[in-house]
Structure 1
């Protein structure tokens, strides 16, 4: 890896564009480096993971709405191009809208992979837009996998170097340039076109952290698809010869100077050296439970601790000692009363460490639907327990998350349960069981089983088998064969929603 030290330029200062971060990203995307076989295989398994969680979300309101938008833009069978929409079988739609619909389904349940460094991310959110473009452009399977590996690399490396949350900017800001770079690799575009696409995508992908604050809305699920559309537009414009705002990161009116620290900020972004395989996807980690990643270890810990407290009614208080990020994003430090509100949206509950721990502790299982059911959230004994739980930022846990390399970070915490008789029950867990360093790391069998479990009742078994076989053969899939990355839902399994601007 090469560390690129980036700072805002002073007014009137100029540098060669070859020194800009966006150019370095474009060089990475167009570098003819050898492919890492493990990275390509992991890209295929992350397609399985994304499609699994998308299927489970097919009838969620945000997904119904996004799918409806895509269905308003069909591609005639006689016309080349088009992309499939999850649940709709082989029918083709405008990739701009198909990618949006599929990305929304992938993100809705907060159930695909994560990565944390200076910033946080869900790097698998790149796959929906990339797959749509690959289908529409007739790419072969290896091109899609290489595009995914590039997009992961760019997002992970930006997350390592450029913090967003501390400036109240949402982490999808890194998603735009990652998708643009991935498309550049997939289509074998020249470096100048990728450079302009990355600049424009980075410029337009910025939104505030309000997406994940207070009463969290359905837009949290829509955001990656919207950013994917921005990246597609950026690539389309660059391919047509349009130029972009530059230097988008270093300019005196650019992202760093205006939004991400001011004119004196300094950031360091590591990127693979020329000729080096891209491997960042192997640093990311999947989810076993449908909840924010900061809650994964808490769910596993709640399962473990429940046997130590036979009567939850004897609990006086539960304190979760954890890293500052969990405390601020999912805990008491967020200052959001909604995180203890039984009428809160699912999008809010899956970002409440207190709710997550309470339900996992009581039930001993976690289900992507039942654990968030409004009646489940409103259960009187759950509300009593839930409101006894708080988080505290612990310097030791913060350091164990902040200081180590990404795969060595501690994501969990220590839970202290104080009983009415004064007894303290305490336990801790550093990483979720499914983490690469956890008790049960995810491998091919786990990805396959996750897909089959979440597809049950929505997709026929033979359709599941056909799809899994198609993914297994992606590395050698011929140009135009990516239509096999489709899913047909069972008859009458899909719900419909309201009409929008583009429907008759």
Structure 2
């Protein structure tokens, strides 16, 4: 049996037994795919086609040294976030699900287990995202591009691609995700950012599968029609799904690319159509100029992706830092009369409004709650993964302080967004003294990039108890020189999550 036929048979068996029942067309599917991908004559090509053409055209030689270094920094950070979360019950359940996969094509981070590329993208994505400590990008939408490193790892391994292919696909993931976030806000209309993420995943996987322009276009069409996510994920009581939504988009995107490779077509034009993404989800035309995307002589968006210092929602990070600075000047939190947090319009809307952020009952609600993270940082002088333990959420000290906190928008701070995500905290003490701290940026922000040493320090703070020193050092050094590796296998081999003594 040829490799191509074996791969096709394996994929069809997974599709029939797994996530979807698909009715496959006959021998004309390849021609149907090509016809469906063709734009109308003399018209601007649909967005899906333009994205596909950009991804297909991009080459490893188009990557400059700064983009490669930015990816290495974020890859160390991403592995650290994933390794630290392997002990968490939610992540363990996702890994257990993935291990039930019949295929052994793609590895699960920190283990010797392998599964299908779809389930590896899901499970590894769950680990990367769990602590809300991986990187972030703020524009018209805000999200986490490194979530889709789970796709480039899984598919590079399953397809046997080179490390250069992996690097290129990872930069594709960052570029597509960020550019879509630049294009249009969808959360105000009730939709969630994994609706963009599934496009990112499909194109990232498709690049590694070496799909044609027509196939990449169909991967986008299939991915979007199948995976429009609701913003209820990030509203009211936040659940485990907050950290799994992008992982699910990653899985769906890999599956969409696999379908497109087999000749399956999706509806078009998926963005501009009568009932397409622009009309139903964005509520406006989406401006996409792929000529401005990263490439020869043009910067990649990865340089504008922040590296998080604290495990909390992006709009709260500078408030956490301000609260930590103030905590050293407050000898007794019981002497606090009130706290006023001035933030951006989105900071207020996402993290400072509604009754649920004032009484968070879940970790996921708490790490998206401005009152909680500010109160915890004022009391403890820090904010870590342990800050969301059940006993911390229920502690009398934080429950007493949160009602004293008021969150409000300051238009002057809103005007600085998205290049900066500023917050200002004023603490009013019973003595009459007022303490104020404003923070506009933190190390790791686009204007304050981290060094390798700073990234390594975060890695050890995050994952130091999840991996031995020898394995961690090997992983980090392999990433720093990864262009000399043959593929991604050495990264997985080094990332064995043996408990540090």
One fold, TM greater than 0.5? Answer: yes
| TM-score, normalising length: structure 1 | 0.86
**Greater relative CO, 1 or 2 (CA 8 Å, sep 6+):** 1
2:80 pairs with 1:52: yes
**Partner residue, 2:177:** 155
**Partner residue, 2:219:** 197
| TM-score, normalising length: structure 2 | 0.86
- Matches of 2:337 and 2:500 in 1, distance apart? 48
**Partner residue, 1:346:** 363
Q: Aligned ranges for residues 184-333 of structure 1 at < 5 Å?
A: 184-261=206-283, 265-273=284-292, 276=296, 277=298, 279-331=300-352, 333=353
Seen in structure 2, the aligned counterparts of structure 1 residues 293 and 341 have a Cα distance that, compared at 3 Å, is same
**Partner residue, 2:28:** none
- How many residue pairs get matched? 459
Deviation at 1:68, TM superposition (A): 0.5
- Matches of 1:242 and 1:186 in 2, distance apart? 18
> Which 10-residue stretch deviates more, 97-106 or 476-485?
476-485
Deviation at 1:108, TM superposition (A): 0.7
Deviation at 1:16, TM superposition (A): 6.1
- Matches of 1:305 and 1:182 in 2, distance apart? 43
2:442 pairs with 1:414: no
**Partner residue, 1:65:** 93
- Matches of 1:17 and 1:92 in 2, distance apart? 45
RMSD of equivalent CA atoms: 2.2
What is the aligned counterpart of 1:364 among 352, 359, 381? 381
- Matches of 1:427 and 1:99 in 2, distance apart? 41
Contact 1:50 1:112 in 2 (8 A): yes
2:64 pairs with 1:42: no
- Matches of 1:482 and 1:231 in 2, distance apart? 25
Q: Aligned ranges for residues 385-400 of structure 1 at < 5 Å?
A: 385-400=401-416
Deviation at 1:267, TM superposition (A): 3.1
Seen in structure 2, the aligned counterparts of structure 1 residues 230 and 451 have a Cα distance that, compared at 3 Å, is same
- Matches of 1:19 and 1:128 in 2, distance apart? 30
**Partner residue, 2:479:** 471
Seen in structure 2, the aligned counterparts of structure 1 residues 148 and 303 have a Cα distance that, compared at 3 Å, is same
Query: Which structure 1 residue ranges, 5 or more long, are not aligned?
Result: 1-12, 77-81, 494-504
- Matches of 1:249 and 1:322 in 2, distance apart? 33
Contact 1:215 1:345 in 2 (8 A): yes
Deviations 1:31-89 (A, max 9, x none): 1452222212222222211111111111222201100011112546xxxxx11112213
- Matches of 1:44 and 1:204 in 2, distance apart? 32
Seen in structure 2, the aligned counterparts of structure 1 residues 395 and 242 have a Cα distance that, compared at 3 Å, is same
Q: Secondary structure at the match of 1:151?
A: helix
2:103 pairs with 1:86: no
**Partner residue, 1:376:** 392
Deviation at 1:479, TM superposition (A): 4.7
**Partner residue, 1:133:** 155
Contact 1:44 1:472 in 2 (8 A): yes
Q: Secondary structure at the match of 1:416?
A: strand
- Matches of 2:289 and 2:312 in 1, distance apart? 29
